[in-house]
Amino acid sequence: MIMMTFINTTKGKLCGLLVLVLLLSACKKDALKVDEEKHYEQVNASPSTDPIIGSAISLTLKPDGVGDIVPGGDIRWNATYKISGKKLTVAVKDIDHKFEFTIISDDEIHGENGEILKRSYN
């Protein structure tokens, strides 16, 4: 009887709503699932002055949390990555650097400096 009275009060309804919101936010889903190798290329890079060395970012993600990145230039670095919601963090141990990306969709990722990477199916 006391419980039904509490649920029917404004405080009870607010508490119930708060519990529901907390449960739903705890079920946050990652915006990108890497179940196969996925390759992304920057589409808005400035033209390179050297035709051999490009200025675009190239990123490959593999299902086991590893991949590689070419952050412009001609050196491909081994990397690891983590996905949390819409955030993709790519860590390159050899140069002690992390790249942050925002996942727009399975086909598009944005870099922290305005880079737009599109999925390549080649």
Q: The whole model's pTM is what?
A: 0.74
pLDDT of amino acid 122: 74
- Give residue 43's region: left, alpha or beta (phi > 0; psi -120 to 50): alpha
Q: How many CB atoms lie within 10 A of CB 84?
A: 11
SS3 59: strand
**78 pLDDT above the threshold of 90:** yes
- Give residue 17's region: left, alpha or beta (phi > 0; psi -120 to 50): alpha
pLDDT of amino acid 24: 47
Place 3 in a pLDDT band, splitting at 50, 70 and 90: low
What's the whole-number mean pLDDT along residues 18-35? 66
pLDDT of amino acid 53: 77
pLDDT of amino acid 28: 60
